[in-house]
């Protein structure tokens, strides 16, 4: 047992003393704290904002609220961070788009997306996709379709493309929806094992919707 444990203990000591830096250890500790006690992270960041109400501190606090699905407080802090000279910050507005969508504030998603939609990073992003879905929610289906179709890239965006297929079906474009679903099923046959596991539920839904369309 001693012979077995000694090399293992030596490896752990080596990793801690030689490989992991103090910064790495602090990062791991913060991540563990966020998982075990997420409110502790919130309190820590609220204290930082109270001490120094900077743009970055507000963003960090808003992000922390997103992590615990408290989108109301997240929105409040994103808006506060984006006031004044930071009003057009890409990351902050992108995060605000996502939070507004989770909060079912579709008009606000659209308004916020207008601020960043001409930025290069917005193209084919998650925020752009949510912008398209929000346009659909308020009845602007033609513009929504144009935007949602930007995610239709082979061997990627499986979940988003499934939602696009649902959108096409719901808007009486069953043939387009079926063609997209067939593309997805074909691509699924060549996925790696990790991706097959990752997207297992999505592909079950893809197959289900495809079979439903074929049966009609």
Cα–Cα distance between 59 and 65 in angstroms, integer? Answer: 10
| pLDDT at res. 216 | 80
| pLDDT at res. 5 | 47
**Residues 80, 78, 130, 103, CA torsion sign:** negative
Structure tokens at 86: 């930071």
CB 48 within 8 Å of CB 70: no
Cα–Cα distance between 132 and 149 in angstroms, integer? Answer: 9
CB 156 within 8 Å of CB 185: no
Residue extents of the structural domains in the chain: 14-87, 104-148, 152-216
Name the nearest CA neighbour of 213 among 149, 205, 139, 189. Answer: 205
What 98-101 contacts at long range (C-beta under 8 Å, 24+ apart), as own/partner pairs, is 98/66, 98/126, 98/127, 98/130, 99/62, 99/66, 99/71, 99/74, 99/75, 100/75, 101/130, 101/133, 101/134
Q: What is the pLDDT along the chain (216 residues), one digit of tens a residue?
A: 445 445 554 554 454 455 555 545 454 455 555 555 678 999 999 999 999 999 999 999 999 999 999 999 999 999 999 998 999 999 999 999 999 999 999 999 999 999 999 999 999 899 999 999 999 999 999 999 999 999 999 999 999 999 999 999 999 999 999 999 999 999 999 999 999 999 999 999 999 999 999 988
CB 205 within 8 Å of CB 181: no
In degrees and rounded to multiples of 5, residue 136 shows phi and psi of -65, -40
Lookup result for tokens 């990790």: 194
Chain segment 93-128, per-residue pLDDT in tens:
999 999 999 999 999 999 999 999 999 999 989 999
């Amino acid at each position: 047992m001693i012979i077995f444990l000694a090399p293992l203990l030596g490896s752990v000591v080596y990793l801690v003393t030689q490989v992991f830096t103090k910064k790495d250890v602090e990062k791991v500790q913060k991540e563990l704290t966020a998982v075990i006690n997420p409110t502790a992270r919130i309190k820590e960041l609220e204290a930082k904002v109270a001490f120094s109400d900077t743009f970055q501190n507000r963003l960090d606090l808003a992000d922390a609220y997103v992590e615990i699905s408290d989108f109301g407080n997240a929105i409040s802090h994103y808006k506060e961070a984006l006031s004044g000279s930071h009003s057009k910050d890409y990351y902050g507005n992108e995060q605000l788009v996502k939070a507004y969508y989770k909060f079912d504030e579709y008009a606000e998603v659209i308004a916020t997306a207008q601020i960043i939609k001409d930025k290069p990073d917005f193209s084919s992003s998650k925020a752009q996709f949510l912008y398209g879905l929000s346009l659909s929610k308020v009845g602007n289906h033609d513009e929504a379709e144009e935007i949602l179709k930007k995610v239709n890239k082979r061997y990627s965006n499986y979940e988003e493309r499934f939602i696009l297929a649902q959108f096409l079906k719901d808007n009486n474009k069953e043939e387009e929806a079926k063609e997209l679903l067939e593309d997805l099923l074909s691509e699924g046959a060549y996925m790696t094992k990790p991706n097959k596991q990752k997207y297992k539920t999505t592909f079950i839904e893809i197959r289900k919707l495809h079979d439903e369309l074929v049966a009609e």
